Amino acid sequence: MIKAVLFDLDNTLIDFMRIKKTSVDAALNAMLNAGLEMSKEEASEKLYGLYRKIGLEHQKIFQKFLKKVMGRIDYKILATGIVAYRKAQVEVLKPYSKVLPTLKKLKKKELKLAIISDAPRLKAWIRLVEMELQNFFDVIITYDDTKKYKPHKAPFIAVLKQLNVAPENCLMVGDRPERDIHGAKSLGMTTAFAKYGATKDVVSDADYELKSIGELVEIIEKEK
């Protein structure tokens, strides 16, 4: 019987890649207008190259980018880019359309809900608060809480401890089979692959595959 539903955050509750691309595009346009002397194509190639190398969540990506392309940090250009990025992110940071009604239905069933995210703690919390989703979750575990990325068992164990629920009574929902699904299955959890948020076609090895997060309600009924 499922007593708790655990969610990844990015590309499971929110369309993270669309948000990232929109925000980065706004930042690059702003920096170019502020005096960055290079083509949009070259700037985009170099910035995404850095993202691929040091990660999409790097806190000082624009500083590293400017050092790479200018040899120094121009703080007027930096500030312009950061402000444009933040403004664009706020405008597009919304959950998938079925997320809110699904969370409400799950709470009505008195299920415990949790987040297990590889994002830094503050960024994860900011996303949840901006979307007004933070109060749906009993536990929120981020990278900073265990210093381990999924599929390491530590984040999953941390959630189980705080929820006081056995792994066989948990359903893990995520878009990354190699992290979310494999990590959860290694502890004996039921798994659901958020296929709607996956950025590439993969074999998930999950117990369920979701075309929409709304399908979770029916799955919970099946698992009674």
Side-chain half-sphere CA neighbours of 14 within 13 A: 25
Which burial class, exposed, middle or buried, applies to 134 when counting CB atoms under 10 A from its CB (0-12, 13-18, 19+)?
middle
| pLDDT tens digits for range 117-126 | 999 999 899 9
Give residue-wise pLDDT tens across range 86-133.
999 988 989 999 999 999 999 999 999 999 999 999 989 999 998 999
Question: Which residue, 166, 129, 121, 173, is CA-closest to 147?
Answer: 121
Domain with residues 4-15+94-222, CATH architecture: 3-Layer(aba) Sandwich (3.40)
- In CATH, what class is 17-92? mainly alpha
The residue behind tokens 């706004």 is 26
Is residue 138 very low, low, confident or very high in pLDDT (cuts 50, 70, 90)? very high
pTM of the entire predicted model = 0.86
In the chain, where the domains are located: 4-15+94-222, 17-92
